[in-house]
């Protein structure tokens, strides 16, 4: 019999630590080494694809397959796809989607998971393996490979986020599912509990998402301003 999931219990805290600490040695190992970088990229990609296969196998083996769990329609699924595309062929367009969707959605899912089962239940292992590797990959791409969003990323991310909302809500309507938690709040405690009742929280959620895009870009904006202000000073001191 599986144990009930304990929010911020020891297994949960270990998973969070793995997600945020693993990119440090990976980035240090890859820095300046093309072959090591390639090996890490391919290993992370293989781990993600294996996670998909494992999840489908578990659903099939235990007779759990349904429209509500087999379609890649959670925002974390889209972040995962963007991450895989970037790992296979590093490029700014898929990276910027991965950056905002991972930090805006996957991190929240890691901190307050919609999960009823604790370690060592297979659903716990697959859930945290899936979400942790997304975060690990995003941070590796950012700090190990020096990819970053640009100001021009913001409108594209907003457009793609609108597309996700429309697609998820359409799938929920057709198949009576709850992808993106747009049809109902999760049963487990989450940040959505702070918002209004359905359907009003959908508008609030979208507005928060748009604000979050700006907040997540703010460190890069401040860094660019700092670099720009420091450049003339460096030139003056050199003369």
Q: What is the pLDDT of residues 20-49, one digit of tens each?
A: 999 999 999 998 899 999 999 999 999 999
From residue 170, alpha-carbon distances to 74, 129, 163 in Å are: 13, 28, 11
> Is the confidence at residue 237, as pLDDT, over 80?
no
Cβ atoms of residues 143 and 23 within 8 Å: yes
Q: What is the pLDDT of residues 109-154, one digit of tens each?
A: 999 998 999 999 999 999 999 999 999 999 999 999 999 999 999 9
Nearest to 133 by CA among 20, 34, 14: 20
DSSP, collapsed to helix, strand or coil, labels residue 4 as strand
The domain segmentation of the chain, as residue ranges, is: 10-227
Q: Specify the pLDDT at position 188.
A: 82
Q: Specify the pLDDT at position 94.
A: 97
Percent of the chain with pLDDT over 90: 87
Q: What is the pLDDT of residues 50-109, one digit of tens each?
A: 999 999 999 999 999 999 999 999 999 999 999 999 999 999 999 999 999 999 999 999
């Amino acid at each position: 019999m599986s144990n009930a999931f304990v929010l911020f219990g020891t297994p949960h805290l270990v998973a969070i630590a793995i997600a945020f600490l693993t990119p440090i040695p990976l980035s240090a190992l890859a820095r300046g080494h093309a072959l090591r970088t390639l090996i890490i990229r391919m290993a992370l990609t293989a781990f993600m694809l294996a996670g998909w296969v494992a999840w489908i196998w578990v659903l099939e083996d235990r007779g759990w397959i349904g429209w509500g769990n087999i379609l890649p329609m959670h925002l974390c699924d889209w972040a995962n796809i963007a991450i895989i595309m970037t790992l296979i062929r590093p490029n700014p367009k898929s990276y910027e989607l991965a950056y905002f969707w991972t930090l805006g959605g996957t991190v929240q899912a890691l901190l307050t998971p919609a999960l009823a089962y604790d370690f060592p239940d297979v659903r716990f292992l697959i859930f945290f393996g899936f979400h942790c590797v997304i975060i690990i990959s995003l941070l590796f791409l950012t700090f190990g490979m020096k990819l970053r969003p640009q100001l021009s990323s913001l409108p594209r991310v907003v457009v793609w986020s609108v597309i996700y909302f429309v697609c998820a809500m359409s799938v929920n309507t057709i198949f009576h599912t709850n992808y993106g938690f747009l049809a109902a709040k999760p049963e487990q405690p989450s940040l959505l509990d702070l918002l209004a009742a359905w359907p009003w929280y959908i508008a609030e959620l979208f507005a928060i998402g748009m604000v979050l895009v700006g907040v997540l870009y703010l460190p890069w904006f401040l860094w660019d301003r700092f670099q720009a202000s420091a450049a003339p000073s460096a030139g003056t001191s050199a003369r």
